[in-house]
Amino acid sequence: METILLAVIVGIPLAWHLALTAFTYYDAGKVGLEPPKKWAAIVFFVPIFGFFVYLFERSELSYDPETDPYRGHKVNVHPSRADDTVLASRREDGTRAADEGRNGEE
């Protein structure tokens, strides 16, 4: 019974860890993150956090600025709030309120 419990407690996380490392090595070469050995080593030596670092780095490869809703420091506003006033830091013409006068002049 102790052997089975030890196999479950150690074996299953170890199998997941090795599977994530193998997936990272295979996928890094396929998507163009070079060298794949570096990414596999990061995932292997920094178990869970390393895999998330890899996923975030991988997602940066597919960044398209044309589809970025926050491009140009824009803020998404819900349609029900579209009639509210303009943010204090921005004017409707796109200029910043802080750029007009440093001494409180407008």
Question: How does pLDDT run across 35-47, given as a tens digit for each residue?
Answer: 999 999 999 999 8
Kindly report the pTM of this predicted structure: 0.57
Q: Is 105 a domain residue?
A: no
- With 60 as the cut, is the pLDDT of residue 3 above it? yes
Q: How many domains does the chain have?
A: 1
The domain of 89 spans 2-97
Mean pLDDT on 44-58:
92
> What are the contacts of 47-52 at 24+ separation with CB within 8 A?
47/17, 51/20, 51/24
Q: Is 106 a domain residue?
A: no
